Structure 1
Amino acid sequence: MTIRIDIWSDIACPWCRIGKARFESALARFAHRDEVEVAWHAFILDPDLPVRYDGTEVEYLIERKGMPRAQVEAMTQQIARAGAGEGLDFDFDSVVPSSSLAAHALLKYAEATGADIGAVEDALFDAHFRDGEVIADADVLVRIGAAQRLDAGAVRAGLTDPTVVRAVQADLAAAQQIGVSGVPFFVFEQKYGVSGAQPAEVFTQALEQVWAEVHPQVGLTPLGEPDAAACGPDGCAVPTRPDAGAEQS
């Protein structure tokens, strides 16, 4: 019997990038990884963000969070260091703040075609956080899709396909229904939630505990650390201790 993990994530969320890497590291070492079903879901941290924000990522965060510039710069530097620890590149000076709605549409279209959605998501994260691409730009998304062997014309049409749009909206509605307020957010077997970019060891523990219950073995203990780093509507928290984080303020 497989176990299912539903993950809500936003391309505009740096902790989602880090959390994905940590989760996948844990999954790769899990003895029953071939019996784990992973479903990725759309989450939009800032629905009011325009297609392209007229300013830098730091300026956007200052406006959005109301924090001093020095504090925002320290936050982005700390996130970049955490990413480097997972082998990820973050260049916040190059990031172009822009709506992630179209990027989520690409992911839903890719999923419908049977493409490797994890690879497409990684490409989107790299485009946004490393390469300074505008993830709301249809030409950028078509190029990313084509690099993953998706038909360019079909991708362009898929970005506004009503079925794809409804799938994105369904994810957003589901997140609201279960009370997801910050991402990344992991739901194991539609019963247990793990919030934030937890250390890989926490995901390993969660996988093993849920596997034991499903098959069954022993009861579960609470999953994850309550203060893991995550992003919410008001911005991204930074860790207060190694490999963990602070609750979203």
Structure 2
Amino acid sequence: MTQLFTPSAPDRLRVDIWSDVACPWCYIGKRRFEQALTAFPHRDQVEVIWHAFELDPGAPAEHPLTMRDALAKKYGRTAEDAQGMMDHVTRTAAGEGLEYHFGRARLGNTFQAHQLIHHAAQHGKQDAMKERLLRAYMSDGDLVSDLDTLVRLAQEVGLDGAEVRAALLDGRHAHAVRQDEAQAQALGISGVPFFVLGGKYGVSGAQDPQTLLGALNQVWQETHPAPLQMLGTETPADGCEDGQCAVPDRA
């Protein structure tokens, strides 16, 4: 973990997470973080904020390649090697209770999907929207750059479809997405998922739940020191308070 910036508020622990809905490890990381939170004693005082990160900001609305062929091209590997990579991630996801179906995945730009997550945050549904978009991409084969698809997914988590459509058409959350990405660049974040705990420490990658729990405990202890515990005594002892040192008469 590397120290980053300002600590959390005294009564809260803020966790900022940068990720992309087109990132298989980000969904796995989300599930592992949720497991860590379940075991964290102060979980009710944790505030999670999702931030945008585009792995391929120049991607077209819909990529003509399958995920297997796109991976092979990106890493200069054979189609068989790419399939092996997909199979490995699929098995890892299954261990976290997730079903990945890369064969039906539709690759495309995620800029509007990130805008939708920001819109959902204004209505207290950011985490639910993030979850639904990840499942849409990794499991359902939905094209998350398609406006009608995004409106439907938003309605599924309880958002107003007409309002979502208007927000995505006028791009009112586009600047917030760019701010997320600029902050990620300023922090030196080059891969996701990336967790910033308490504004103080960064954790990179889809770490296992125990590692994430250890990070939560460490940051909580450093930013929320335990109050001083007083040892009881039967009789009071002399001391100085408020700039005065009274000498009691015990005659």
Q: TM-score range by the shorter chain?
A: 0.7 to 0.9
CA distance in 1, matches of 2:142, 2:172: 26
Mapped contact 1:105–1:160 kept (Cα < 8 A): no
CA distance in 2, matches of 1:23, 1:211: 15
Mapped contact 1:43–1:171 kept (Cα < 8 A): yes
| Higher mean C-alpha displacement, 28-37 vs 17-26 | 28-37
The aligned counterpart of 2:95 is 85
Mapped contact 1:98–1:136 kept (Cα < 8 A): yes
| Higher mean C-alpha displacement, 198-207 vs 161-170 | 161-170
CA distance in 1, matches of 2:164, 2:171: 13
Deviation for aligned residue 1:191: 1.9
Deviations 1:44-85 (A, max 9, x none): 001111110012111111122222212111111000000000
TM-score by length of 2: 0.84
Alignment RMSD? 1.1
Q: Which has the higher contact order (CA 8 A, sep 6+)?
A: 2
The aligned counterpart of 1:244 is none
Number of equivalent positions:
216
Larger radius of gyration: 2
Matched, 1:23 2:23: no
CA distance in 1, matches of 2:75, 2:58: 14
Residue 100 of structure 2 aligns to which amino acid in structure 1?
F
Indicate which of 4, 23, 31 corresponds to 2:14: 4
CA distance in 2, matches of 1:15, 1:216: 33
Mapped contact 2:133–2:144 kept (Cα < 8 A): yes
TM-score by length of 1: 0.84
Equivalences for residues 90-101 of structure 1 within 5 A? 90-101=100-111
The aligned counterpart of 2:70 is 60
Structure 2 gap segments, 5+ residues each: 1-10, 227-251
The aligned counterpart of 2:172 is 163
Structure 1 gap segments, 5+ residues each: 218-249
Deviations 1:123-157 (A, max 9, x none): 11111111111010001100000111111110111
Deviations 1:171-190 (A, max 9, x none): 01100110100000001122
Deviations 1:183-216 (A, max 9, x none): 0000112221100000000111011111110122
Mapped contact 2:200–2:219 kept (Cα < 8 A): no
CA distance in 2, matches of 1:182, 1:24: 20
